[in-house]
Amino acid sequence: MPWIELGHLCAWLALVLAFVQATAPIVARVSNQPFLGEISVRVAPLVGLLVLVGAATLVNAFVTDDFSVAYIAHYSNSQLPLLYKVTAFWGGHEGSLYLWLTVLAGYTTVVAWQGRRRIPEHLPLVLAAQGWLLVGFLGLILFLSSPFERLLMVPLDGRELNPLLQDPGMAFHPPMLYLGYVGFSVPFAFAMAALASGWRSDEWVPLVRRWVRVAWLFLTTGIVLGGWWAYYELGWGGYWAWDPVENASFMPWLTGTALLHSIMAQDQRRMLPLWNLFLIITTFLLSLLGTFLVRSGILSSVHAFAVDPGRGSYILVFMALVISVALVLAFWRSDSLHGEPRPTAWISRESGILLGNALFTACCVMVFLGTLYPLFLDLSMNQKITVAAPYFNGVVAPVMLVMLALMVIAPLLPWRKIAPGRLWAKTRVMLIAASVAALLATLVWPGHWQVGFTAGLAAALIVTIVEDLYRRLAVSRAANAGGLLTVLRVDSRHFAATAAHVGAVVIAAGLVGSGLFRSEQSLVMAPGDRLEIAGETAELIGIENLSADNYHAVQGVFWLVERGVELRPEKRRYPASGTVTTEAAIDSTLARDFYLVLAQKEENGWGVQVYINPLVQLIWLGTGILLVSMLMLLFRRRAIR
């Protein structure tokens, strides 16, 4: 049997077993035969194994240039480097759906393995919820979007992967994004199982906290990798364009971030159980919405796949079923979600968390409306409008800055309440430092209130960290418990959470700097010409031609005079598809990026575009701090103080 046929057979077997996994716990409860639920626990790893075998056969078909498979013939060719033959697995509609399925089956297997010890009585229903998701995606793949379909006439070579996707960044961006999207299916499955069985929220919500962090970590990584790829690959000098598909990943990130914080309120004060349930359901549904937007064919985007309406309709119906079941269960069991309905004091940490959640949710609603409203008008009234960056920057950026300010202040507040005098004593040095920094920044950069606001946030955070560290160090030394290293080790989770906030402020500084003070210039240059921008000089030394296995390129050789650095932007042409791409050349320092693009050939030289992006490296640095801090929170068990 050919390997690809084995993979196809495994996918069909996985569909059958996934259906068994989804129905056995329900039959067990209806028939009052609990032992039947164990079938789901035993079947789940088999589904994961079968799906993995299917994925392996597809990758093998890419690597061995099996152009008898329609999907491989469409998205690969014999000249494609090995790395891109492997990553072409998720380069098209069918393969990307199978990647989603593979990640979902992997998460389900891990849940089955861990749940045997931790939640044996509730595990079958959790796996049933994930089983129905598996059935839904396997049905879509096998009946409408099969990557195993054969060709009667085998071509000599394939068409080729989209050249924009022939980049190392695309080897990591989609898998990370899917690990985030699909990761939120685990809290969703727990929520559905809890609603169906009456499982107390104070028992199951703490169990999903780690899963929420894992999914959020992957989703954040995927979003930032996508921005990084767009920055250096697309040649427009930016990293975020408020593209509808970008927004589709940003919306679950917003609600997922709100969920990260609201779970703390339920852990500490038994608050917000219904709100946490809403966030869990909404975050996963927004992840499904992202799948619909990308794969329904209703969007025009470098990220999106143009497919027939049948597939989009299937995904839409599937989403509607998931939403309906979730809402019915939520209304049916909402009275079982007990907790304190509201904070006991307005000035308290739980009030800060509640306000932060409201801001995150409002931000998500604004992005949702800006993304979906044009599509609604187009589909219902055949009216085309464009909601572009000015709208999103105008409504989202101020809310995000307020959230950052709240992020600095809220950790200073105790649970329950604090007297106003005590609050002033804890925050007066921070507020004075923030005010001075904001005033100085406003005087240096007048007309840009965002700069002053961000400078004030940075100063407030620095003062807060220093004061907190000094206080903890004094207490430790007074008790003869040790010095700085001891404090950092004992309170590692507290400082990891603080580091996450530092990362967020660093990212904000990068966004503000690169957004407000960017410079750009377009001109035509011949060898020997120089350009000057923002106090820097670049000289075009010459133009060279080069060839690789799967493309030919024209390469400009530029010399940055002040830095003594050579830059080589390229214009590439891929013969298999005739596609022309732009490869930017970037010289980076912490203060700025010198971003150089070789444009079109002109009569008297070559078109050149150059961008100076101040502080853009802070975005990647801040993200690194944020992700490392989240890893520390995941792998340490001491509670945050």
Query: Taking residues 356-382, what's their average pLDDT?
Result: 86
Quick: pLDDT tens for 320-335: 899 899 888 888 776 6
3-state secondary structure 186-235: HHHHHHHHHHHHCCCHHHHHHHHHHHHHHHHHHHHHHHHHHHHHHHHHCC
pLDDT at 550: 82
Instruction: Say what the pLDDT of residue 291 is.
Output: 78
Helices 349-381/244-269 angle, 10° precision:
150
Query: 22-31, 276-285, 380-389, 589-598: lowest mean pLDDT where?
Result: 380-389
Tell whether the model's pLDDT for residue 143 goes beyond 50: yes
Mean confidence (pLDDT) of the chain: 87
pLDDT digits (tens, 9 = 90+) for 618-634: 999 999 999 999 998 88
Other beta carbons within 10 angstroms of residue 146's beta carbon come to 18
For the segment 557-562, the average pLDDT, to the nearest whole number, is 95
How large a percentage of the chain has pLDDT more than 90? Answer: 54
Domain map (residue ranges) of the chain: 1-162, 167-333+347-393, 419-514+619-635, 519-614
Distance, CA of 350 to CA of 340 (rounded, Å): 11
pLDDT digits (tens, 9 = 90+) for 24-33: 999 998 888 8
Is the predicted pLDDT of residue 34 greater than 80, yes or no?
yes
Mean pLDDT of 382-398: 84
Q: pLDDT at position 186, please?
A: 97
Determine the pLDDT at residue 304: 46
* pTM, rounded to two decimals: 0.92
Each residue's pLDDT tens digit, 411-439: 777 666 776 777 777 778 888 999 999 99
pLDDT one-digit tens code per residue, 223-244: 999 999 999 888 888 999 898 8
Region 44-58 average pLDDT: 97
Which of 160-174, 179-193, 418-432 has the highest average model confidence (pLDDT)?
179-193
pLDDT value at 121 more than 70: yes
Q: What is the pLDDT of residue 340?
A: 53
Answer whether residue 309 shows pLDDT above 70. no
Region 539-547 average pLDDT: 94
Kindly report each contact of residues 168-173 with a partner whose C-beta sits within 8 Å and lies 24 or more positions away, as own/partner: 168/83, 169/225, 169/226, 169/228, 169/229, 169/232, 169/233, 170/87, 170/91, 170/229, 171/83, 171/86, 171/87, 172/225, 173/222, 173/225, 173/226, 173/229
Residue with the bigger pLDDT between 1 and 520: it is 520
Q: How far apart are CA 496 and CA 488, in angstroms?
A: 9
Q: For residue 491, is pLDDT > 90?
A: no
| Token pair recorded at residue 180 | 């985030």
What is the spatial distance between Cα 346 and Cα 352, in angstroms, rounded to a whole number? 8
Separation of alpha carbons 406 and 353, rounded Å: 9
Q: At what angle do helices 123-143 and 37-63 cross, to 10 degrees?
A: 40
State the amino acid at position 74 in one-letter form. Answer: H
Q: Which of 530-550 are b and which e, b meaning 16 or more Cβ less than 10 Å from the residue's Cβ?
A: ebeeeebebebeebeeeeeeb
